[in-house]
Structure 1
């Protein structure tokens, strides 16, 4: 008996040790929000106040100390996210995730981002502020790597922490630039459609710009290979553990249209959802500098920001900055390709990719005067003619980091304009407002012209030189508006008005959001912060009711069932709003999907149809195509003895939609709520493991919003009848220059990327409900609602 008691005693002791050890380990992984630490290269004591949402407010005696501290606190919240971000461009995801990421790595190492980063660093002034601040930030990050806790993700996957280098920052910005691009999803696809069906079908897809749509006003032959190219690049972007940028809204209203006589600024960039979310907020205050900024993981300067004097934000320009060229090999020597000046040798770069638990993979990437050959990294097109990708980002010296520094250290409006002019890729709309009444918008990006007959939406001829750019435009020819007489600027990724005597080609979104924004702003001259907050959460479509009206007018109603009649009446009365409890959006989205499927899939085939369905182009097609009575697309090629009409296709689609919803949601239409099928889950890369999903993912949630309303949500159309949200507002920011200390914002989940932090998901409920929190600037208020971490110089 005594032996059993001893055994029980020892087991209890062992269990207590395990519990205590686990508790100690758990707490060691949490971010450090109070106390004191010592950092090298800090000259003076620096104070960090973490407010009630975990936002760091850094008070330092100089900018170098502040940015070093920023690097440290950024790393303690987002080191895992930084690790993923820096691995994409150099093709290092397979190293930690295994062979499933090999396709991604092969593709990205071929783009030349690393080489462009190296060139930029070579030309960077090592005595300038950009270099000094960037290295200070890296110093802070690396000190956390040395002395801080190892994120749980590193332990679970089994990878070691590595010091960060300047090249990592440039590689991250290179990936960001590529994720903005749309040509890789569209150009090969349109070439396939052209080769398969011909121009009569293509011209009805609204490829060319409609001059009658809502424009942003200026105050100045191998079909399968192309299918495989677009499907593979789409798969690569879909599988990336870091979400792409997909759109955005912003508007800035001048003092003449506000109740306070001061500028109001709003911005909500649309980015793929993930956990952690994209932005890390940080407020820096020194004797000569103050900024409340939104940072990407691993980037020292904010991409969005404001202080007491000015604010800026971003949307995607959607300009065309990638072209694909079909090259021509030498008939007897495949190491050479044809140019206007004769045959030249490919320049070949050898890349090695480490693969977890597998042998290292070596690839040879051929480069032409246009860019890398995609056949070398997309296996499915390896037996066809060489297809090269020309991307503006790698054609010119990269100055994105310099531009962000210039914009975030501006003292006047012209400084922000100068920063915008330094960005040649990605194409961005830089939105601006300030405390002295200025509002402005500049489209950044290196724009260029081709000969009139060249359509850059298709694969171009690489051998002749006839399809090469003939002119690069100066920045002063870019779309822009400064202090416009109409008293506001806005962007919703829609087409800008004429520049350089052309409507500049791009991959612009339909006018839906733009029209709604203009319709709301234009007639109203008493805007205040509360009205802007309501507007940025607006879920009403200005075009969906028009589309519904056209569809209902062309549906045969003589044989309706009870539910078909009831659904018809619901759609007829719908005002275009998309809240969780509404029924109409559920019917509308199913109907639109089936209309598209029944109209386009018979000609395109399943593969091309699904590719087209996931492009901006298809969003633009809907409203325009539904106006056509005699479209070539209405006929179903699978019914050879019958020629379908618009009425036949829409009637068939409507009946199928109601039947599908009855099967999915039951026979009671009043239970077909939008929130049942329209949901959001913020996915962490480790959330794909079932046992870890509960701890790392956030959600799912029933959501308001929809495609192309101001509260924009991205989701795919398919047979499931479920609309799982993939993208949407990555933050909602409203800056009121009449009350700057009470400007407001929100993040989709939380400030921290550490699952053990109380700030991992503490904003998600507020975000889902369209609520806000302060972006605090008042030091006294900050101190009274914060914990305090003191950073002391380390004796070296």
Structure 2
């Protein structure tokens, strides 16, 4: 017995020791929000006040000092995220996660992001203010790397901390540009559909612009006030989602002019839709110097905010969704396979060799071919099938990269004209830049390097023969980009929908369906006394006018004969459903199950399992649902597996209804009243390390039942699946409201928290607020900040 007691005591002492060690590790590895730090190269003292949500408010006497401090505080909260994002574009994920990422690294290396970054750095001018401030920011990051605690993820992946350089910043921007490029998912797939089924099947898909939908309207306006006049890769994306690497998906924004608000001042709203991850994509920081002030939202490793505001202006973005990627069938020489046909005759393929570092496996060498148009993707991108070489031209890697100059110019602009002039330098990714200011101006500009495309060329297919664009493009002047400045509607908005023409041509793209745009216009047109609270409710709106129309089409084809009492009761409730995605809605659950079963029955017989899954990864499937269901004569309705019988839309709709009902009865129980949305629609913020089951509770945040749905304003997107469980993968990455009648009381929210350090109290302290649709204050007035600050970090230029 005495030995047993001694053993128990020893075990207890060991547990206490382990707990003490764990507590010590956690304490010494969490961010430092209080005290003094030495930061080399400072010209003066920098004061950083942290508010109750861990947002740093940085005060310095000059911009370089401010950006050095920004780099330090950003790194201590988000160094792991910085490390992850700088690796994607250069093909460095296998070193973190092992051999499963080799194909992903090969693809990104072939894209040429790292090479484009190298060229951009080589062309940069050390005296350029944007370069100098970026270098100051990098100095701050690297100081933290030298003296700060190592994030726990570095221990778990077995990598060492390494200094950040200017090229890393461009690689982060390059990855952001790639994640916008929907052409990778769409064009090769549509080409294979045409080759497998024939052009008739493409005619019944909404590939081209639909003039019957809600479009963004252009308007060449004159600013008011004293500002003057205003002149293929489904597997790759799946892998990125698996490791919870954020991808840019869509967005909402609207800016209300003085005539639309209670106070007669502009109100600005924005909620970019990005893949959910932990940490969330944006890092908030308020930077103030005698010559510069901005409350901004930063990407990891990028010094200048992509979303920002001050007392004069506010800006944000949505995705333009323009087509900036072209695929080409290359013609190989009939007798010399080392050559291809170029615009100037036969040329030798360029062979490029690369080496990938792989965790626990050493190094892997691989090679790929390249033409004057770009890399040949055969053997690199899984969706490129067959032996015919297909190359890819991408405006981001082909043209001069001045995106950092644009971000600097946007943040330092003094008025609407200065702001607009900075946008010319954004060649890719294509963005809708939204703008509002204290002078009463509201504006929207589509920013991208657009090029002339003849009507005879179909940009959604791999180019060959007569359907081809030259590798050397004829670019449009920026004034020909879609835009609206102070339009007669007294507001501007964007929901990634189709823009109108301003240059006598439409702009090919991968635009989202009109669903969110219709709802935004519907709400904005009905009201001229908007205030901040009403805008906040609108950002959390979960109603879909399009889904109710789709449902009406479906209900009109249902045969009631033979249905049981529960099925008839559900149909009765569906008839009065308002398309609102609240947690207690069983109608929402059934609607999406019905639509998914219907899509599967309509497309899978022609496409097969793999191509149907690829189709679901595109924006095209979102655009297809409403017009397909409204068109009972579409060729897609027929089930080609049944010989001698052509199915009608009514047959398919009824079959899908019965299947969906039976599936939900099996998975959620016999009572349809209990098939509520909260049981199937959930959000979990995943961390790459959270894939390990034992570490998931420590790194991941959630899951939470969540309101909203696909293509409502509160756009909680989820992929369809056979099990009927809708795990949200992307949505509002922040919700922001800036009211120029009281800029100091502007609002925002992050999906989880400000810090990416799991030992920080700010790792997930906004998660519940976000789920509930609440906001917190973005303070910008120094007396209020100092009075309410929980802690103060001071940077000095001497030990």
Query: Normalised by the size of structure 1, how large is the TM-score?
Result: 0.96
Which residue in the other structure is 2:133 paired with? 133
Alignment of 1:191-270 (within 5 A): 191-220=191-220, 229-239=232-242, 241-270=244-273
Question: Helix, strand or coil for the counterpart of 1:42?
Answer: coil
Contact in 2 for aligned 1:311/1:432 (Cα 8 Å): yes
Question: Which residue of 540, 543, 562 corresponds with 1:540?
Answer: 543
| Cα separation, 2, equivalents of 1:100 and 1:202 | 34
Which residue in the other structure is 1:225 paired with? none
Contact in 2 for aligned 1:46/1:65 (Cα 8 Å): yes
| Cα separation, 2, equivalents of 1:301 and 1:210 | 37
State the Cα deviation string for residues 659-696 of structure 1 (Å, max 9, x = none). Answer: 11111111111111011000000000010001100000
Which residue in the other structure is 1:223 paired with? none
Alignment of 1:203-602 (within 5 A): 203-220=203-220, 229-239=232-242, 241-378=244-381, 381=384, 384-461=387-464, 471-602=474-605
Contact in 1 for aligned 2:234/2:617 (Cα 8 Å): no
Question: Helix, strand or coil for the counterpart of 1:212?
Answer: coil
Question: Helix, strand or coil for the counterpart of 1:461?
Answer: coil
Contact in 2 for aligned 1:92/1:105 (Cα 8 Å): yes
Contact in 1 for aligned 2:56/2:286 (Cα 8 Å): yes
Q: Does the C-alpha gap of structure 1 residues 174 and 791 become closer, same or farther in structure 2, counting only changes over 3 Å?
A: same
Deviation at 1:171, TM superposition (A): 0.5
Q: Does the C-alpha gap of structure 1 residues 546 and 6 become closer, same or farther in structure 2, counting only changes over 3 Å?
A: closer
State the Cα deviation string for residues 110-158 of structure 1 (Å, max 9, x = none). Answer: 1111111111112212112111100000000000000001101111222
Q: Does the C-alpha gap of structure 1 residues 7 and 581 become closer, same or farther in structure 2, counting only changes over 3 Å?
A: closer
RMSD of aligned residue pairs (Cα, Å) = 2.0
Q: Does the C-alpha gap of structure 1 residues 26 and 235 become closer, same or farther in structure 2, counting only changes over 3 Å?
A: closer
State the Cα deviation string for residues 709-733 of structure 1 (Å, max 9, x = none). Answer: 0000111112111110000000000
| Cα separation, 1, equivalents of 2:255 and 2:13 | 64
Deviation at 1:376, TM superposition (A): 4.6
Q: Does the C-alpha gap of structure 1 residues 240 and 504 become closer, same or farther in structure 2, counting only changes over 3 Å?
A: farther
State the Cα deviation string for residues 329-354 of structure 1 (Å, max 9, x = none). Answer: 11222221111321011222221111
1:729 matched to 2:732: yes
Contact in 2 for aligned 1:448/1:469 (Cα 8 Å): no
Q: Which runs of 4+ in 1 moved over 4 A?
A: 1-19, 379-383, 462-470
Question: Which residue of 728, 752, 766 corresponds with 2:769?
Answer: 766
| Cα separation, 2, equivalents of 1:734 and 1:396 | 35
Contact in 2 for aligned 1:578/1:674 (Cα 8 Å): yes
Gaps (5+ residues) in structure 1? 221-228
Q: Does the C-alpha gap of structure 1 residues 603 and 166 become closer, same or farther in structure 2, counting only changes over 3 Å?
A: same
| Cα separation, 2, equivalents of 1:466 and 1:269 | 32
Question: Helix, strand or coil for the counterpart of 2:82?
Answer: helix
Question: Helix, strand or coil for the counterpart of 2:318?
Answer: strand
Contact in 2 for aligned 1:677/1:721 (Cα 8 Å): yes
Deviation at 1:459, TM superposition (A): 0.5
State the Cα deviation string for residues 415-473 of structure 1 (Å, max 9, x = none). Answer: 22122211010000000000110000000001112333210100102899666565211
Q: How many residues are aligned here?
A: 788
Q: Does the C-alpha gap of structure 1 residues 2 and 541 become closer, same or farther in structure 2, counting only changes over 3 Å?
A: closer
Question: Helix, strand or coil for the counterpart of 2:169?
Answer: helix
Gaps (5+ residues) in structure 2? 221-231
| Cα separation, 1, equivalents of 2:205 and 2:242 | 28
1:94 matched to 2:97: no
Which residue in the other structure is 1:53 paired with? 53
| Cα separation, 1, equivalents of 2:622 and 2:13 | 65
Question: Helix, strand or coil for the counterpart of 1:205?
Answer: coil
Q: Does the C-alpha gap of structure 1 residues 464 and 487 become closer, same or farther in structure 2, counting only changes over 3 Å?
A: closer
Deviation at 1:407, TM superposition (A): 0.4
Contact in 1 for aligned 2:233/2:383 (Cα 8 Å): no
Which residue in the other structure is 2:229 paired with? none
State the Cα deviation string for residues 512-562 of structure 1 (Å, max 9, x = none). Answer: 000000011012110110110000000000111111111111111122111
Deviation at 1:159, TM superposition (A): 1.2
State the Cα deviation string for residues 744-795 of structure 1 (Å, max 9, x = none). Answer: 0000000000001110000010000000000011212211221333333343
Q: Does the C-alpha gap of structure 1 residues 379 and 619 become closer, same or farther in structure 2, counting only changes over 3 Å?
A: closer
Alignment of 1:27-46 (within 5 A): 27-46=27-46
